[in-house]
Amino acid sequence: MIVPVTGEWVFIEISWELLKTRILLRANPSNSPVKEEKDYEPKIYLLPNLMTAGNLVCGFLAIISIINAISNGGVNNLENSRSLFERAIWFILAGCLFDILDGRLARLGGKDSPFGKEFDSIADIISFGVAPALLVQSVIMNEFSGSFPIIVASIFLVCGGMRLARFNCIAAHGVTNSGYFKGFPIPAAAGLISSLTLFVLWIADKEPDLSRLRIVFLVLMLFLSFLMISSVRYPSFKNLNWKTHRPLQWVVGVVVLLLLTIWYYQWMPALVLVLYALYGLVRPFIGKTLRRGIEEEILSAEEEDSEINGEVGTETDA
């Protein structure tokens, strides 16, 4: 830089690196070490993020299958499009499985990271937001006149994105784990919509006219949208691990439930997820003793005590 001094020109050299450092220090009054963006590289753990990538790919494949089904005639030509719709549903449900595995692997290895949280949210909004909304719009609500069904599907998508964003904000704030979801989790909402759509496709042969179900799905999507951004608490089952112990009767019951779900896959997954959604609504009205008996393996001893004392918990995952 050149400045005039008493009629003469004086050259003054200013170091850009020094000026930039002083600006950064001024914006960082705590005197903590300042890292430039080029020096920061987030930690990326292989196995958890590999599961998240599988979730994202499943969502993409589900969308592709839905588009192909629409191009083959959609619900007006189920002979050619049914298998594509069902394939999309299985991709969404497979995404739910990958979503469970990525969190389990991260907690098992103690490899939780900000990158994993952000990557998981991006995958979830594709697999459990865009894909289910497009699925219901294509199978159930496509015969509605006007743009109202598209608005309803968009509300579901936006509320799912807000649900994920709220979780990221709470996690960034450093709130501790309480073993509960705050609001209905978006993977469960996507699984419920997809399993109900699978049930509709199953009964389509016996009941070709699906007009009576359109209103039901409209109300359901609006209701799930509300539940996702609500403060209704749902058990997360995140504390179930290899050390969890149950009586023999419980183990047999779980095995029987899994076998029934596999055997009656057309309607059993929908029934299980409907019961889960209803449990969060009736949970505040269940006696504390019965509630502890139902959820005794979900919470630790300290968390059970705080729950009995009426303390407010927070969510543990999206």
Per-residue pLDDT of the chain in tens (318 residues, 90 and over written 9): 544 555 554 444 545 555 455 554 455 555 555 555 556 677 777 788 899 999 999 999 999 999 999 998 877 787 888 899 999 999 999 999 999 888 778 777 666 778 888 899 999 999 999 999 999 888 877 767 678 888 889 999 999 999 999 888 887 776 655 678 888 999 999 999 999 999 888 887 776 666 677 788 888 999 999 999 999 988 877 666 666 666 777 778 888 988 998 898 888 999 999 999 998 898 888 877 777 766 665 544 344 444 444 444 444 456
93 and 211, same domain (yes or no): yes
Domain boundary among 201, 235, 269: 235
Residues 231 and 90 in one domain: yes
Q: How far apart are the first and last CA of the chain?
A: 53
Q: Could you tell me if 19 and 28 are in contact, meaning their C-beta atoms sit under 8 angstroms apart?
A: no
- Mark whether 207 and 102 lie in a shared domain: yes
Q: Say yes or no: 9 and 74 in one domain.
A: no
Burial 160-195 (b: 16+ CB within 10 A, else e): bbebbebbeeebeeeeebbbbbbbbbbbbbbbbbbb
Is there a single domain that holds both residue 23 and residue 122?
no
Q: What is the DSSP letter of 235?
A: E
Q: Which CATH number characterizes residue 210's domain?
A: 1.20.120.1760
CA distance 101 to 187: 13
CA 66 to chain centre: 20
What confidence score (pLDDT) does residue 147 get? 80
The packing angle between helices 148-172 and 114-125, to 10°, is 170
71, 125: one domain: yes
Q: Cα separation of 70 and 82, whole Å?
A: 10
52 and 28 in a single domain? The answer is: no
Closest to 234 (Cα-Cα) out of 166, 297, 313, 154: 313
Q: Is residue 122 part of a domain?
A: yes
Question: What is the dihedral sign for C-alpha 298, 303, 304, 307?
Answer: negative
What is the value of pTM for the model shown?
0.78
d(CA 108, CA 123): 21
Give the span between the Cα atoms of 125 and 45, in whole angstroms: 21
Total residues found in the chain within this entry: 318
Q: Is residue 287 part of a domain?
A: no
* Number of separate domains in the chain: 2
Domain of 159 in residue numbering reads as: 46-235
Domain boundary among 214, 235, 256: 235
| Same domain flag for 102 and 31 | no
